[in-house]
């Protein structure tokens, strides 16, 4: 007799799709954002784990997570080196000097391998900082999909002036 329930194949005789843990197949946005979350688990800066995936025509072109440049010690080995900067609105921001941000690393990986990312989209587990946003504009990213908002007021004017699109894509924790 066939064993019931647990451990059975996801493409069982019922034909019911079981892509997510709650039983529904992942849509494209949820799929790529879930990949970004998985990639964020490689991040090494103890101040936050971020993942990024650059996508065109539903194909992954490049990925990145925040961490030290290749060959240099990571923050989880040598501790973060924090610097403070003051935004024009007066708010003070803290960043880690050791770390390359996830979206910058995804762009670097594409450049290293000669992959064009013009007119691609990017999925990031958090909205970009203003420095990354400026580079995303210039490499020709069309739409930024983010999960968690990070100081969006700091980038609102640049978003408006540049015309780059930004949309939130939430992934429920139980779907990861």
Residues 108, 38, 50, 36, Cα dihedral to 10°: 60
In the bound state with Zn ion, the residue whose beta carbon lies nearer, of 20 and 128, is 128
Tokens standing for residue 50 = 């971020």
In the bound state with Zn ion, the residue whose beta carbon lies nearer, of 20 and 100, is 100
DSSP classification of residue 153 = G
In the bound state with Zn ion, the residue whose beta carbon lies nearer, of 55 and 126, is 126
Q: Name the residues that contact Zn ion, by CB under 5 A.
A: 45, 75, 80, 96, 98-99, 101, 129, 132
Q: How far is the CB of 23 from Zn ion (least distance, A)?
A: 36
In the bound state with Zn ion, the residue whose beta carbon lies nearer, of 132 and 166, is 132
Q: How far is the CB of 111 from Zn ion (least distance, A)?
A: 17
Out of 94, 103, 157, 167, which one is annotated catalytic? 103
Q: Strands 165-168, 82-86: parallel, antiparallel or unpaired by DSSP?
A: unpaired
Q: How far is the CB of 101 from Zn ion (least distance, A)?
A: 3
Q: How far is the CB of 11 from Zn ion (least distance, A)?
A: 40
103 catalytic per annotation:
yes
Beta-strand runs (E) in the chain = 51-56, 59-65, 82-86, 92-96, 121-126, 143-148, 165-168
Q: What is residue 149's three-state secondary structure?
A: coil
CB 106, CB 115: distance < 8 Å:
no
Active site residues: 103
């Amino acid at each position: 007799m066939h064993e019931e329930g647990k451990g059975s194949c996801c493409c069982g005789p019922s034909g019911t799709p079981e892509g997510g843990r709650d039983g529904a197949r992942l849509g494209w946005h949820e799929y790529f954002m879930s990949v970004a979350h998985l990639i964020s688990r490689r991040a090494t800066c103890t101040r936050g784990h971020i993942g990024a995936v650059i996508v065109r025509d539903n194909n992954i072109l490049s990925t990145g997570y925040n961490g030290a440049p290749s060959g240099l010690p990571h923050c989880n080995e040598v501790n973060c080196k924090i610097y403070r900067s003051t935004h024009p609105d007066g708010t003070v921001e803290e960043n880690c000097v050791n770390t390359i941000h996830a979206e910058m690393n995804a762009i670097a990986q594409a450049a290293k391998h000669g992959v064009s990312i013009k007119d691609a989209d990017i999925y990031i587990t958090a909205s970009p900082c203003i420095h990354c946003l400026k580079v995303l504009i210039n490499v020709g990213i069309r739409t930024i999909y983010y999960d968690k908002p990070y100081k969006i007021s700091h980038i609102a004017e640049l978003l408006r002036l540049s015309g780059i699109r930004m949309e939130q894509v939430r992934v429920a924790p139980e779907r990861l």
